[in-house]
Amino acid sequence: KAGVTQTPRYLIKTRGQQVTLSCSPISGHRSVSWYQQTPGQGLQFLFEYFSETQRNKGNFPGRFSGRQFSNSRSEMNVSTLELGDSALYLCASSWGGEETQYFGPGTRLLVL
């Protein structure tokens, strides 16, 4: 069974631009969660989607948004990028959200 895949793996953007990251969950999993990982703040929860609906949300500004498609694939969008948005963005999938989450390898975003 293929694991969680994230694209792209690496991305360089400049301040003010916007970016879209993609996550394909394990087949059959309906819950996708997104996290931001930085050396200073560690791993922080962004949001969780289940059956195309946002079910949980972390404490991030409205510039961070996401969506989930009918095939459970999810995208995360960050608008008006700031230097502080440089981070490893991880997504994790699970069948319903309460079970074991399986993480993807992440997308490393660098904002210049």
Partner 1 sequence: TQLLEQSPQFLSIQEGENLTVYCNSSSVFSSLQWYRQEPGEGPVLLVTVVTGGEVKKLKRLTFQFGDARKDSSLHITAAQPGDTGLYLCAGKYNQGGKLIFGQGTELSVKP
From the CB of 79, what's the least distance to partner 1, in Å?
22
Residues 6+ apart with CB under 8 A from 41: none
> What's the chain's length in residues?
112
**Residue 51 interacts with partner 1 (CB under 8 A): yes or no:** no
Q: Enumerate residues 29-48 that contact partner 1 by CB under 8 A.
A: 33, 35, 42-45, 48
Q: Measured between alpha carbons, how far is 57 from 49 in angstroms, rounded to an integer? A: 9
Q: How far apart are the first and last CA of the chain?
A: 37
**CA 88-45-50 angle, 5° bins:** 110
From the CB of 112, what's the least distance to partner 1, in Å?
21
Compose the 73-112 pattern: x for residues touching partner 1 by CB under 8 A, - for all others. -----------------x-x----xx-xxxxxxx------
For binding to partner 1 (CB under 8 A), which residues are involved? 4, 33, 35, 42-45, 48, 56, 58, 90, 92, 97-98, 100-106
